[in-house]
Amino acid sequence: MSDSDTPHHDGGHGHDGHDHPANLAHHFDSPRQQFDAAKVGMWVFLATEILMFGGLFCAYAVWRANHPEVFLAAHKKLDMTLGLINTIILITSSFTMAWAVRAAQLNQQRLLVILLSLTIAGGCGFLVVKTFEYSDKWDKGLWVGTKNLFNPRYEEPSDREANQAPGEQENQAGNESENGLGESNENTAPEMPPEMSPEETPEEASEQGPVAAPDAALQDPDENAHNDEPEVMRSAIPVPGMGPPGLSEAYSDQEVQRQETPPTPEELIAQLPDHVREKWLHQFFQVYFLMTGLHTLHVIVGIGLIGWITVRAQRGAYSSEYYTQVDLVGLYWHLVDLIWIFLFPLLYLIH
């Protein structure tokens, strides 16, 4: 037991009268009680975290059960190596974190700071790899949502313009009034997955206008009966202009501007060779970004917390007498790690 904390306090064991240890809040009787309360509170909080992610995992299960083929095909777009690297990074950082708690318990001040810094490095490394992964998906136009305003590329008309039969424009106008979504369609129509059209023969395209629109399919099921895709897949095609009309209108200005600077559709097509699979990427990546996004948010919060206790540790705030915060942040970090351990196989290792 070296120096450590509790400078204005007479020895750390004095429960005589009102003289509490420096780190002991007034409403606790003993450091032990305070530590127990904090620990119970943290475990209960972790339970809420698990339940929250549990909701997402549940949504994942439902989605995957409904569209197994989508998950099977789409996960190949993920870089398994990067995922594996991240898994190793997180497990390692969990190890250094656990060791840091031990160092605090043993009053090894320098080691504590070093281990906490290593843990932060691990968290940052995870974020760096994740950034590479996310930006790669961004470049390929794989991003969350159909009509999201964050990713201009996905909404661009890719090969569709090339395949457009003459007169389709009018058909499209007719469709717009049918689905009652008005002018917002004009801007959101290009959101349709670019992979749709190659499947259609030019004749079909000219007959039905934007065949891909499910409302067309709904109105005339027989017309689509010869379509050799399973029912469930067709029903999952994103609808042009879906979503609240009010919101689409609000974004229309920005979207018009984006269309003035179109990215190259050729690149997109080159990256998306197999259209039958590609059209489902979108769905899978909604799940992917929701789950990993929420997890990444937790990693960022965790790095912030560890940074905070590292600063405190440098000032010698922790000792074998008082290391509650190190312990609790450690628990949190392990949970973040644990969630990734589940996310990795569920998203990257689908068979």
Q: Which of 10, 30, 81, 221 binds other proteins (CB under 8 A)?
A: 30
Is residue 144 involved in binding other proteins (CB under 8 A)? yes
Minimal distance, residue 110 CB to other proteins, in Å: 31
Is residue 70 involved in binding other proteins (CB under 8 A)? yes
Q: String of b and e for 191-219 (b: at least 16 CB within 10 Å)?
A: bbbbbbbebbeeebbbebbbbbbbbbbee
**Rounded distance, CA 313 to CA 123, Å?**
18
Is residue 148 involved in binding other proteins (CB under 8 A)? yes
- Count Cβ atoms within 10 A of the Cβ of residue 114 and give its class: 0-12 exposed, 13-18 middle, 19 or more buried: middle
Contacts (Cβ under 8 Å, ≥6 apart) of 56: 290, 291, 294
Under a CB-based contact definition with an 8 Å cutoff, are residues 325 and 39 in contact?
no
Angle at 99 between CA 94 and CA 105, to 5 degrees: 135
Is residue 212 involved in binding other proteins (CB under 8 A)? no
Minimal distance, residue 3 CB to other proteins, in Å: 27
Minimal distance, residue 62 CB to other proteins, in Å: 5
Q: Which of 104, 237, 309, 313 binds other proteins (CB under 8 A)?
A: 237
Is residue 342 involved in binding other proteins (CB under 8 A)? no
**Rounded distance, CA 159 to CA 187, Å?**
17
**Rounded distance, CA 65 to CA 351, Å?**
13
Token pair 């998306």 is at which residue? 272
Is residue 239 involved in binding other proteins (CB under 8 A)? yes
Is residue 7 involved in binding other proteins (CB under 8 A)? no
Q: Which of 22, 58, 80, 88 binds other proteins (CB under 8 A)?
A: 58
Residues that bind other proteins (CB under 8 A): 15, 17-18, 25-27, 29-30, 33, 36-38, 40-41, 44-45, 47-49, 51-56, 58-59, 62-63, 66-67, 70, 144-148, 214, 232, 235-239, 242-247, 250, 283, 286, 290
